[in-house]
């Protein structure tokens, strides 16, 4: 046998019957000798009980785990952060507030009523879902790259995930 083996990751379905593995259900993984190499095979409990494959070198019981997800941002926290940034004059805080408005629109906490255009700026006129109150958020004129940078920074600050490019949390 070779000194170094390259074992593949676990499969999503049983190599015996072809059925997908449900999350957290018992399954069996085994290594089979194939010439000078070892190959991994994953089987559901039913197929394993019917008889393991020939030439099994070793086996272990395992479960298919759910993929890890970053936490979705708490909407109430976002609303409070958004409100605290109201009236901010600092360019970065205004940009944060704009990205938060996009996020809250996606979460249907804020509804776009109109886009108000002035000689020197543009603003989103939004309505709160909770009380129907109107809010105006000035568009800071940030680029797509800057939008992604701000969304990333907010994610770091709040230890959660914002979708790139939209400033919105995963649906």
Q: Examine the pLDDT at 164 and tell me if it is beyond 90.
A: no
Q: What distance in Å separates the CA atoms of residue 74 and residue 62, rounded to the nearest whole number?
A: 33
Lowest mean pLDDT among 52-56, 124-128, 162-166: 162-166
The residue from 16, 46, 67 where one domain ends is 67
Q: What distance in Å separates the CA atoms of residue 126 and residue 139, rounded to the nearest whole number?
A: 12
Q: What is the pLDDT of residue 124?
A: 94
Q: What distance in Å separates the CA atoms of residue 154 and residue 74, rounded to the nearest whole number?
A: 13
More confident residue, 118 or 167: 118
pLDDT in tens, 131-147: 999 999 999 988 999 99
Of 94, 69, 96, nearest to 167 by C-alpha is: 96
Q: What distance in Å separates the CA atoms of residue 28 and residue 30, rounded to the nearest whole number?
A: 7
The residue from 33, 67, 101 where one domain ends is 67
At 4, the pLDDT band (50, 70, 90 cuts) reads low
The residue from 42, 67, 92 where one domain ends is 67
Task: Find the domain containing 144 and state its range.
Answer: 75-158
Q: How far is CA 156 from CA 15, 52, 68, 150, 160, in A?
A: 41, 47, 17, 10, 7
Q: What is the pLDDT of residue 86?
A: 92
Percentage of residues of the chain with pLDDT beyond 70 = 87
Q: How far is CA 27 from CA 7, 12, 21, 77, in A?
A: 17, 11, 8, 40
Give the contacts of 76 (CB within 8 A, at least 6 positions apart). Answer: none
Q: What distance in Å separates the CA atoms of residue 159 and residue 122, rounded to the nearest whole number?
A: 31
Q: Examine the pLDDT at 8 and tell me if it is beyond 50.
A: yes
Q: How far is CA 24 from CA 18, 28, 48, 62, 127, in A?
A: 17, 12, 17, 9, 43
- For tokens 């979460």, name the residue: 107
Q: What is the mean pLDDT of residues 147-158?
A: 82
Q: What is the pLDDT of residue 5?
A: 64
Which two three-digit tokens encode residue 27?
């399954």
Whether pTM > 0.75 for this model: the answer is no
Q: What is the pLDDT of residue 111?
A: 96
Q: What is the pLDDT of residue 136?
A: 94
The reply to whether 154 and 81 lie within a common domain is yes
pLDDT in tens, 26-55: 999 999 988 778 889 999 999 999 988 888
The reply to whether 95 and 137 lie within a common domain is yes
Q: What is the pLDDT of residue 95?
A: 92
Question: CB 90: neighbour CB atoms within 10 A?
Answer: 9
Q: Is 95 a member of any domain?
A: yes
Q: Examine the pLDDT at 163 and tell me if it is beyond 50.
A: no
């Amino acid at each position: 046998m070779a000194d170094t083996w390259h074992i593949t990751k676990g499969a999503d379905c049983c190599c015996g019957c072809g059925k997908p593995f449900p999350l957290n259900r018992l399954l069996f993984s085994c290594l089979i000798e194939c010439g000078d190499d070892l190959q991994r095979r994953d089987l559901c409990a039913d197929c394993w009980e019917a008889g393991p494959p020939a030439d099994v070198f070793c086996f272990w019981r395992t479960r298919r785990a759910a993929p890890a997800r970053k936490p979705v941002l708490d909407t109430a926290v976002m609303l409070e952060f958004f409100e605290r940034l109201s009236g901010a004059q600092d360019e970065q805080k205004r940009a944060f507030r704009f990205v938060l408005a996009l996020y809250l629109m996606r979460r249907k906490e804020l509804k776009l009523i109109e886009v108000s255009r002035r000689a020197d700026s543009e603003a989103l006129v939004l309505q709160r879902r909770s009380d129907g109150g109107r809010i105006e958020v000035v568009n800071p004129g940030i680029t797509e790259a800057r939008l992604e940078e701000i969304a990333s920074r907010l994610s770091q600050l709040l230890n959660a995930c914002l979708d790139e490019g939209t400033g919105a949390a995963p649906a």
